[in-house]
């Protein structure tokens, strides 16, 4: 029996080590409470369209697991399965909430936040809230060192009195006195207005951090995105050198390659990635572009992405995370076959949603960074000011320009900024396939537990390469002889034809001259 027990134990251990990590992203949700995100409408084709999606991405930026549900789908008792609940109210003309939800809310003892007006009476009383409504208005919003003017709003609630903590301020010509943008008190939070694409999207993160009870200090990163195999690699290397000399650590989001690794172009790409890594750059892998969910390539995602990561391992390149559009975290197929290698991720805004197996529950990375385009962020800052840390880990994104003058502008912007940026690899990040494990620890890069020694020397790659290999054919020799014989016959025929043409021309000319003389 002891031998059988020992054999079974060893068998289980071997199976555990040999099976790829299928749910690392899901396992990395750590101890954070999941949030139930309810909404009465997604406000499509209205000025508030996209605010639910914006909230989803903010929650992902705080590494928060989320289950999303429409109020129309709400079932009695659902509320009591969660310690944190957020309700987004976009239907300003419908004030009544479902009876099942209201009954559960009366007995609910967890944390509750509402976005949009129409707070239940019990919560209004708990906040000692008084507010006014305006139909159409233009507001100025300010929070921390960020501000935006002339934001058009409709049917927005203005908080006139309350008890608790306030975040940011809003004012307008109709309401010249400053009012709080959002408030919290005890278990309750309230954001009267949230819209995608303006400062309210970032402003909501300040109240969310406290309401979610996030205590870790946020980090700020420089993200250089859109680095492809056929980018101008000389400019990529020059950029890395300039940032290294300026003491600016950066994150490079690279496009994976699933084939043709022996091509010179791909080898030069790999040499550039090693150079980026040696110049204080942290490598993260950008998820592949999904053209169509009907493509058979979608089914190969896990094998191809795993093979690419193992190829990086053979070259001493250490990826530390993944950058993905947010909808990937709400899709079972992409989460398991694409994101499960990584416990750290950068959440990008959705560009072209291509669900394959959608889910109402999102996976959350152990370590996440919210991404924002640098030009968008500059709209909310006074020129020349440095950026104070945002409430969540933030990657300020710059798309790599394949143009020397535009790159110079980008580098001048970064090197002249007073903003302090953090080194991504100082955090704890882990990437694992069935054959390789990458990680970072206190600024050191590790591969399978061994520290990787960095080399900033770029190896020359021979451009001579046969891109299409010629297969040997059994009858090629015979065909070659036949071709030569045909060439000789055709050449001889043309020569004789030309000779006869010349002789005929002379004979005709001689006869013509004789007839003319007569």
Mean pLDDT lowest for which of 13-17, 134-138, 215-219?
13-17
Q: Which residues pair with 84 in a beta bridge?
A: 35, 111
Q: What is the mean pLDDT of residues 345-372?
A: 94
Closest CA to 322 of 277, 260, 368, 354: 368
Token code pair at residue 320: 């530390």
What is the phi/psi pair of residue 322, to 5°?
A: -135, 145
Closest CA to 28 of 367, 432, 439: 367
Quick one: pLDDT band at residue 24, thresholds 50, 70, 90?
A: very low
Distance of CA 53 to the CA centre of its chain: 15
Those residues whose C-beta lies under 8 Å from the C-beta of residue 235, and which sit 6 or more positions away, are 400, 402, 404, 407
C-alpha 55/C-alpha 427 separation (Å) is 25
Q: What share of the chain is helix, strand, coil (3-state, %, to 5)?
A: 35, 25, 40
| Mean pLDDT rounded to a whole number for the chain | 86
The percentage of residues in the chain with a pLDDT greater than 70, rounded to a whole number, is 85
Those residues whose C-beta lies under 8 Å from the C-beta of residue 497, and which sit 6 or more positions away, are none
With beta carbons less than 8 A apart as the criterion, state whether 437 and 448 touch.
Answer: yes
Token code pair at residue 53: 């999606």
Q: Other C-beta atoms within 10 Å of 178: how many? A: 13
Mean pLDDT lowest for which of 27-41, 313-327, 374-388, 503-517?
503-517
pLDDT at 295 over 70: no
Q: Which residues pair with 369 in a beta bridge?
A: 346
Domain ranges of the chain: 21-211, 220-451
Render pLDDT for 385-437 as a digit per residue (tens, 0 to 9): 778 889 999 999 999 999 999 999 999 999 988 888 999 999 999 999 999 99
Residue entry with tokens 């919560």? 123
Quick one: pLDDT band at residue 303, thresholds 50, 70, 90?
A: very high
C-alpha 213/C-alpha 216 separation (Å) is 9
C-alpha 317/C-alpha 323 separation (Å) is 17
C-alpha 69/C-alpha 63 separation (Å) is 19
Those residues whose C-beta lies under 8 Å from the C-beta of residue 241, and which sit 6 or more positions away, are 279
Tell whether domain 21-211 is in CATH 1.10.3720.10: no
With beta carbons less than 8 A apart as the criterion, state whether 146 and 380 touch.
Answer: yes
Q: What is the CA radius of gyration of the chain?
A: 33
H or E element in which residue 306 lies: helix 301-314
- pLDDT reported for residue 503: 85
- Domain range 220-451, CATH class: alpha beta
This prediction has a pTM of 0.82
């Amino acid at each position: 029996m002891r031998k059988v027990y020992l054999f079974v134990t060893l068998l289980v251990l071997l199976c555990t080590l040999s099976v790829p990590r299928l749910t690392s992203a899901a396992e990395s949700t750590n101890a954070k409470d999941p949030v139930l995100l309810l909404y009465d409408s997604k406000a499509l084709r209205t000025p508030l369209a996209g605010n639910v999606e914006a909230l989803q991405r903010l929650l992902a930026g705080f590494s928060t697991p989320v289950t999303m549900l429409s109020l129309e789908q709400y079932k009695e008792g659902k509320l009591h399965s969660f310690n944190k609940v957020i309700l987004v109210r976009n239907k300003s003309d419908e004030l009544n909430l479902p009876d099942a939800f209201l009954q559960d809310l009366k007995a609910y003892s967890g944390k509750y936040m509402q976005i949009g007006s129409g707070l239940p009476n019990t919560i209004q009383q708990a906040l000692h809230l008084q507010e006014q409504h305006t139909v159409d208005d233009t507001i100025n919003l300010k929070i921390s060192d960020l501000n935006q003017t002339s934001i058009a709003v409709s049917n927005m609630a203005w908080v006139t009195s309350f008890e608790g903590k306030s975040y940011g301020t809003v004012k307008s010509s109709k309401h010249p006195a400053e009012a709080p943008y959002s408030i919290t008190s005890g278990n309750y939070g309230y954001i009267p207005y949230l819209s995608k694409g303006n400062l309210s999207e970032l402003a909501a993160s300040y109240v969310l951090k406290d309401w979610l009870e996030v205590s870790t200090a946020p980090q700020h990163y420089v993200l250089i995105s859109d680095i492809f195999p056929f980018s101008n690699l000389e400019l990529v290397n020059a950029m890395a050198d300039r940032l290294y000399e300026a003491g600016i650590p950066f994150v490079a989001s690279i496009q994976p390659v699933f084939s043709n690794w022996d091509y010179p172009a791909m080898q030069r790409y790999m040499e550039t990635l090693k150079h980026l890594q040696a110049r204080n750059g942290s490598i993260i892998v950008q998820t592949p572009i999904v053209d169509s969910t009907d493509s058979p390539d979608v089914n190969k995602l896990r094998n191809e992405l795993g093979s690419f990561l193992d190829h990086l391992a053979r070259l001493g390149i250490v990826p530390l995370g993944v950058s993905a559009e947010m909808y990937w975290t709400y899709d079972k197929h992409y989460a398991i076959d694409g994101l499960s290698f990584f416990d750290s991720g950068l959440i990008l805004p959705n560009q072209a949603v291509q669900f394959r197996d959608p889910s109402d529950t999102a996976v959350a990375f152990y370590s996440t960074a919210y991404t924002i385009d640098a030009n968008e962020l500059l709209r909310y800052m006074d020129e020349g000011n440095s950026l104070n840390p945002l409430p969540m880990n933030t990657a300020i994104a710059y798309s790599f320009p394949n143009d020397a003058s535009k790159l110079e502008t980008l580098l001048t912007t970064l090197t002249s900024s007073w903003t302090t940026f953090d080194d991504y690899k100082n955090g704890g990040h882990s990437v694992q396939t069935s054959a390789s494990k990458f990680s970072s620890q206190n600024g050191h890069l590790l591969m399978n537990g061994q520290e990787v020694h960095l080399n900033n020397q770029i190896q020359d790659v021979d451009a001579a390469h046969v891109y299409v290999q010629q297969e040997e054919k059994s009858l090629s020799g015979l065909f070659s002889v036949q071709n030569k014989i045909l060439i000789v016959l055709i050449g001889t025929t043309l020569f004789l034809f030309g000779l006869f043409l010349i002789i005929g021309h002379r004979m005709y000319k001689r006869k013509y001259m004789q007839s003319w003389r007569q």
